Structure 1
Amino acid sequence: MSASTLTYMKTNPKLIFFTDFDGTITLEDSNDAMIDNLGYGYAKRRQGNEAVLDGTMSFRDAFRDMLDSIKTPYDECIEYLKKNMRLDPYFVEFYHWSREHNVPIVVLSSGMIPVIRALFEALLGGKTDDHLFIVANEVEGRDGKDINSEGGWQIKYHDDSHFGHDKSLEIKPYAALPDSVRPTLLYAGDGVSDLSAARETDLLFAKKGKDLVTFCEREKIPFTLFESWESILATTKDILSGKVSVKSVAQGGLEAVQQGANKN
């Protein structure tokens, strides 16, 4: 596949930033919030996440089970999230900086596009600019019901993978570009939904204290820790300007973790 046919290459960027949404761009995971407060609760959700991490359950099955526990009508779920979700304040700064510096942001989410769009519009104060893309699952009616009725909605997965949405599929065509045109590829994430993308980019930002760090340490996948988009923005600026290399950042991240940086 040539660069000219790839969506995020239209402006010939030097860097593309792929990112998770929930718990990465937002301070709290919107799906977790719904499951914990409108569904079957934190304890059962954690059991599902742990089953995914230890390989005894697919993310696809675990996540569907979690979301199916939510009987609240879809429109009421959206209103609940608008009242309770917040963006990482430094993401807003990153969002504006990336537009000015030709850095496409590609949100790869295990969540649902209508939910993500609604939250972006509410929390950014309007429709997103065209340098931000969303690739995620959809919402559909359950058993012929209206989605705004009790128990009326369910997730419609993006693909047939055991992830439900295999995030790596969106990244791989860009990773395969020849060096002469290939941009630097970065990814930020926090949890089990990011496992499919963890190996695919030049640098992975993994949120401190979260499940993605556990996975990367176990699988020996290079990453650098972040606590907020403040450090992501600073590091991305340095990479784009050539002040630091991706390799040096990854090495520094590994050393920091070995010295206990992931411990609270």
Structure 2
Amino acid sequence: MPSITLPTTVQKPSLPAGEETPKRDIIIFSDFDGTIFMQDTGHILFDHHGCGAARRHELDEEIKTGSRSFRAVSEDMWGSLNVRFEDGFKIMKKELEIDPDFDEFHKYCISNEIPFNVISAGLKPILRKVLDVFLGEKQSSYIDIVANDAEISHDGSEWKPIWRHDNELGHDKAASIQEYKAIASSESEDGSIPLIVFVGDGVSDLPAAREADVLFARRGLRLEEYCLENDIPYIPFDTFADIQKDLVRLTKEDQETTHGTGKPIQYNPRANFWRRASSKRGVPTLASIQASAAPPTGKPLIHIEPSFAQQAALIS
């Protein structure tokens, strides 16, 4: 399985006591298709250069009904492509629409030393190319991408995903975030715990969302609907400007309450169990994480509360 080697936290400078109030680190994980971009990169390719929209919808139904795994269906979709990478990208560049406020949000993350990581079930070469073109290579280089790799023949006759995980998902986003946490320093030198944020749009994002302290769901899409139906705490957003505004608010509230030390006020016990376990016993198994989750409270919530872990345990 490919490893993740990029940093997830920003080291704080060592300062004499009393000179500066500690500031909590924030780590952001985000879906790509439907979240940063309004369209799905794979769907654009399949509809124009592969199986076509009608067949893609049929294959999507096989995933929804559970008759076939996501990985098996995806291999059929990617295998249907017959287009050179450069030619396929032309149609993506024409049809993709980036969130209107993502560029400014990304600059906000850079200026505030907030690591921003893409977690996707798509193919890394495509996602990197899209970010390079829409943001510029320099801005794109600040974004870490955790996705499946790919083997694409020069003539475009063969597109083969190289799956991150040997399971029916191909890429288990929750496992990737867990791996990311394990590799990173799980707690800062001053004992404070980073705030973990996840941004998504679809139900497929839920396994990753359960690893976060704060969940942002794009308004009006399936992830928000699922959260409402199952009383899962989340914060809705229309554009990344909303996320930036809420992050500023959450950071201010946390700073005023905790002074940037210890646990964040949006603390997710499930996620932070993982941090403690990773620092003491190495990488724990997914089964041990699931076993650690407390039962759901059943209390309907919209705003982020510490009970997010118990609510999110329903979707493991």
RMSD: 2.9
Note the alpha carbon deviations across 1:75-117, whole angstroms, 9 max, x for none. 2112221232231121101100001111100101111111111
Is the aligned partner of 1:223 residue 2:234?
yes
1:201 to 195, 201, 212: 212
Who wins on radius of gyration, i.e. which is larger? Answer: 2
| Aligned counterpart, 1:259 | none
Partner of 2:136: 125
How many residue pairs are counted as aligned between the two chains?
243
Q: Which runs of 5+ in 1 are unaligned?
A: 142-146, 255-264
Pair 1:129–1:154, CA change in 2 (3 A): closer
Q: In the alignment, what sits opposite 2:301?
A: 251
Q: Deviations over 1:191-215 (max 9, x none)?
A: 2542431311112212233333344
AA at the equivalent of 2:7:
T
Partner of 2:166: 160
Which shows bigger deviation, 155-164 or 212-221?
A: 212-221
The one-letter code of the counterpart of 1:92 is D
Q: Residue 166 and residue 23 in structure 1: after superposition, are their counterparts in 2 closer, same or farther (change >3 A)?
A: same
By how many angstroms is 1:134 displaced?
0.8
Judge conservation of contact 1:18–1:187 (CA < 8 Å) in 2. Answer: yes
Q: Which residue of 2 aligns with 1:98?
A: 109
Secondary structure (helix, strand or coil) at the match of 2:216 reads: strand
The residue identity in structure 2 corresponding to 1:7 is: P
Question: Aligned AA for 1:151?
Answer: S
* TM-score, reference length from structure 2: 0.67
Name whichever of 77-86 and 231-240 sits farther off. Answer: 77-86
Corresponding position of 1:36: 47
Q: Scaled by the length of structure 1, what TM-score is found?
A: 0.79
Other structure's SS at 1:28 match: coil
Residue 157 (structure 2) aligns with:
151
Please give the residue correspondences for 1:1-264 in structure 2 after superposition, counting only pairs within 5 Å: 7-12=7-12, 14-128=25-139, 131-141=142-152, 147-172=153-178, 174=181, 177=186, 180-217=191-228, 220-242=231-253, 246=266, 251-253=301-303
Per-residue CA deviations over 1:127-185 (Å, capped at 9, x if unaligned) read 336542111111104xxxxx232422222112213211111123225399459332111
Q: 1:181 to 1:60 in 2, by over 3 A?
A: farther
| Counterpart amino acid of residue 241 in structure 1 | K
2:289 corresponds to: none
Q: Is the 8 A contact 1:103 1:131 kept in 2?
A: no
Give the whole-Å Cα distance in 2 for the aligned partners of 1:81 and 1:193. Answer: 22
> 1: CA distance between counterparts of 2:234 and 2:123?
26
| Preserved contact between residue 31 and residue 199 of structure 2 (Cα < 8 Å) | yes
Paired with 2:173 and 2:62, the residues of 1 have a C-alpha distance of: 20
In structure 2, stretches of 5+ residues that fail to align are 13-23, 256-264, 268-299, 305-316
